Structure 1
Amino acid sequence: MRLLTISAIAAFLIDQISKYVVIHMWQLWRVREIDVLPPVLNFRYGENRGINFGLGDGISVWVLIILAVVISLGVLIWAWRAKLRRIAMISAGLLIGGAIANVLDRLIYGYVLDFLNNSCCGFNNPFVYNVADVFIFAGAIGLIFFGDDTRKPAKAGGKKPK
């Protein structure tokens, strides 16, 4: 659980610090866009009021907060009960930390602050996301690939026939 806790705290802090620096200190909220390494990395101001990519726009902010908290608690309880590999515990922490960082945004602003945008090879990507979204996605993928319980499964049916 220590790895899960450390990775959750790290994901939460990295996301919140990155948002504070880019959106508030560099005033992305005012200038609306900063080209960092165009077109591969751009900062574009965004307010996500939905789930992801603007899907679910119009759903109550409290429904989204409750959903994120319930999923985070479910992952936490599952990780606590299961005997997971280290990489799976880190993945669970990234997912939880990212989700809670976005919950904090919704509590403070009523929406999630987004600022990352990537385009490439003639494709102009209109979507923005944040570091917490990266952690949520990476954590979910990590749990899919490495989230198996390492304890030996119990034998079904009791004694083995002779």
Structure 2
Amino acid sequence: MKIPRIAFAAYGFALLIIVLDQLTKAWILSLPDVASIKQIPVGYVFAEVFPPVLRFTFVQNTGVSFGLFGGGEARWGLTIFSVLVSGALAWWATRADRRLLITAIGLVIGGALGNVIDRVRFGYVVDFIDVSGTGVFPWVFNVADSAITIGVVLLIIDSFLSDRASKA
């Protein structure tokens, strides 16, 4: 099977998100002077970046994006599900022909696999971007979660745009 060039753009976006996600998590976990991640208490505030709007706070997310379905029991189920979805999206990228769709697919793949790496390594996803001080968005998240969210929004936008184009 020959993979179209445009599909490699999706894979490139995915790789970029995985690298950014893992680098930001490695950076944030290196801030406290501890020998092990297990010594960092949940809720530990690494930094008040722009109080009270933006803080870096350590959260062990055992669920999916933004802590949904947490509890830890579903670690391997969520891992397998994320890998299967990423595989399906990677296949979809070989069929896609629109740049917005390719970008969206790449963001979702990268975000999903970035969080899979954490689930395998730690048993939970490392979340740290905390904007709960705004009173609008109570969850703590990470780069991977952001990529998934933006990717899904782009998928919806692409769906509307491609539907309009096909009716024109």
TM-score tier by shorter-chain length is 0.7 to 0.9
CA distance in 2, matches of 1:12, 1:145: 23
**1:17 to 2:23 alignment:** yes
For the 8 Å contact 1:48–1:54, the answer to whether it is kept is: yes
Determine helix, strand or coil for the equivalent of 2:48: strand
Cα shift at 1:149: 6.3
**1:86 to 2:99 alignment:** yes
Cα shift at 1:91: 1.4
State the TM-score, normalizing by the size of structure 1.
0.81
2:59 is matched with which residue? 46
Aligned match of 1:65 in 69, 74, 79? 79
Determine helix, strand or coil for the equivalent of 1:43: strand
1:113 is matched with which residue? 126
Determine helix, strand or coil for the equivalent of 1:81: coil
CA distance in 2, matches of 1:104, 1:64: 12
Calculate percent identity across the aligned residue pairs.
36
1:137 is matched with which residue? 149
For the 8 Å contact 2:66–2:145, the answer to whether it is kept is: no
For the 8 Å contact 1:98–1:133, the answer to whether it is kept is: yes
Aligned match of 2:31 in 26, 34, 38? 26
Structure 2 unmatched runs, 5+ = 1-6
Cα shift at 1:119: 3.6
Cα shift at 1:125: 5.0
**RMSD between superposed Cα atoms in Å:** 2.4
Cα shift at 1:127: 2.1
1:7 is matched with which residue? 13
2:3 is matched with which residue? none
- More helix per residue: 1 or 2? 2
1:33-87: CA deviation from partner (whole Å, max 9, x where unpaired) = 021111121101000001233332233211000111111111121221232x112
Structure 1 unmatched runs, 5+ = 154-162
Larger Rg: 1
